[in-house]
């Protein structure tokens, strides 16, 4: 091999090595891929939807471990498997949370050790936010507050940056909301619900899921920065307000 060929080969090797390092640094490893294949609980129309993309997360290696060198993906199928089913509430949560994480972590790698959140008390919402952000009630990084409604406040702890997210008005169909309210009201009164109403509610939910996963998040969501947001784990705990002036002069 001629001298120039040796230099060229060496340069190509260096560039390849740098490229691999860059890929790892930018969160593009080949490991940790999620399974997005259709399944009996995860239809093909959801798996193949335009905006159904996983998030990439960074965690620690073990119970006492350091940051992992590699990343892993978490997708909508993972959420459906853990939550129990694919439903419109889970998809709303997935779309909302993912959009905020994209802003909090512009490099595309979500650090699940560096997040806290506010969520309403609903199975879809809590399951999605706990899995996607790592926030948990028992570690005082997840606050349950029904006043937040069908949205979230998510904060990156290290920077203090926080965003509130929710659906734009009109995205959730009124007819579907009315039918769901009717079903919940009947059950709260101990009355039966017809199979026809349940079938119709599920059809509406699937139609909404298709819309959510095939529409740009910019058209679906209102995302509001919350500068200076102070995370409060619970309103149940506070300092006594009736004694703060006990030592003030009369």
Whole-number Cα distances in Å, 95 to 75, 180, 193: 11, 21, 30
Q: Where are the domains of the chain?
A: 27-167+221-231
Q: What is the pLDDT of residues 101-141, one digit of tens each?
A: 999 999 999 999 999 999 999 999 999 999 999 999 999 99
- Look up the CATH number of domain 27-167+221-231: 3.30.1330.20
Does the structure show a pLDDT above 80 at 234? yes
Of 160, 163, 183, 180, whose CA–CA distance to 172 is shortest? 180
Does the structure show a pLDDT above 60 at 14? no
Contact 129, 142 (CB under 8 A): yes
| Distance from chain centroid for Cα 30 | 22
Tell me how many degrees the CA angle 154-156-162 measures, rounded to the nearest 5.
50
Sequence-distant (≥ 6) Cβ neighbours of residue 123 within 8 angstroms: 83, 89
d(CA 142, CA 160): 15
Mean pLDDT of the 12-20 span:
42
More confident residue, 149 or 24: 149
Q: What is the pLDDT of residues 155-205, one digit of tens each?
A: 999 999 999 999 999 999 999 999 999 999 999 999 999 999 999 999 999
What contacts 24+ positions apart, CB below 8 Å, involve 200-205?
A: 201/176, 204/173, 204/175, 204/176, 204/179, 205/87, 205/88, 205/176
The continuous run of DSSP H or E covering 167 comes out as: strand 162-167
pLDDT at 30: 52
Q: What is the pLDDT of residues 46-80, one digit of tens each?
A: 999 999 999 999 999 998 999 999 999 999 999 99
Contact 67, 60 (CB under 8 A): yes
Residue 51: DSSP 8-state: T
d(CA 3, CA 35): 48
Of 131, 121, 141, whose CA–CA distance to 97 is shortest? 131
- Residue 39: CB atoms within 10 A of its CB come to 15
The continuous run of DSSP H or E covering 195 comes out as: helix 195-213
């Amino acid at each position: 091999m001629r001298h120039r060929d040796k230099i060229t080969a060496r340069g190509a090797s260096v560039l390849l090595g740098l490229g691999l390092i860059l890929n790892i640094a930018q969160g593009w490893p080949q490991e940790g891929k999620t399974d997005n294949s259709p399944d009996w609980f995860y239809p093909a129309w959801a798996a193949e939807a335009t905006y159904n993309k996983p998030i990439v997360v960074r965690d620690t290696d073990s119970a006492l471990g350091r940051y992992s060198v590699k990343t892993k993906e978490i997708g909508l199928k993972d959420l459906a498997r853990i939550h129990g089913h694919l439903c419109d509430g889970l998809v709303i949560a997935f779309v909302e949370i993912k959009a905020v994480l994209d802003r909090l972590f512009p490099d595309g790698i979500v650090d699940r050790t560096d997040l806290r959140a506010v969520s309403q008390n609903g199975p879809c919402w809590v399951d999605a936010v706990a899995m996607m952000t790592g926030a948990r009630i028992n570690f005082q990084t997840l606050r349950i507050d029904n006043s937040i409604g069908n949205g979230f406040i998510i904060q990156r702890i290290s920077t203090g940056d926080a965003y509130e997210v929710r659906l734009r008005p009109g995205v959730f169909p009124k007819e579907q909301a009315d039918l769901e309210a009717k079903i919940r009201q009947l059950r709260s009164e101990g009355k039966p619900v017809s199979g026809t109403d349940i079938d119709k509610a599920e059809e509406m939910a699937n139609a909404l899921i298709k819309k959510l996963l095939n529409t740009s998040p910019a058209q679906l969501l209102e995302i509001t920065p919350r500068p200076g947001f102070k995370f409060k784990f619970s309103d149940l705990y506070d300092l006594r307000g009736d004694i703060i002036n006990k030592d003030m002069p009369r």
